[in-house]
Amino acid sequence: MKDKKIKPDRRFSIANREAIIGCLLAAFNILWWYGFAYGMGSKSPEEYTYIFGFPAWFFYSCIVGFIVMAVLVAVVVKFVLKEMPFTDDGEEDEVDSV
């Protein structure tokens, strides 16, 4: 019996890289939120500064954080992620006729 070498599918390496990018974006979002929410929000409410009627910690952690993450995700989707097929390169799509 010959030893067949299985060629690794490049789609898996691309998917793994993109999953790591997604996890890094999520970690950045959590750190952003936590840093502003607990960094600026740990004072007593009498010492808060307000932006557009929101406490500064809320404005930066939730409102600005959402905008920053939306822009980052859009940039990553547009310039980093790749479109790839779900089927193997040599595999034809077969449809069973019923």
Question: Average of pLDDT values for 58-63?
Answer: 95
71 vs 35: CA distance, rounded Å: 19
- Which residue in the block uniquely carries the two structure tokens 């010492």? 47
The b-or-e profile of 85-98 (16+ CB within 10 A means b, else e) is eeeeeeeeeeeeee
Q: Is 87 a domain residue?
A: no
Total number of domains in the chain: 1
15-42 per-position pLDDT tens digit: 899 999 999 999 999 999 999 999 888 8
Q: Is 26 a domain residue?
A: yes
29 vs 68: CA distance, rounded Å: 9
Q: What is the mean pLDDT of the chain?
A: 86
**β-strand partners of 54:** 51
Q: Is 1 a domain residue?
A: no
Q: Is 19 a domain residue?
A: yes
The whole-model pTM stands at 0.76
Query: Which residue range(s) make up the domain with 30?
Result: 11-52+66-79
Q: Is 97 a domain residue?
A: no
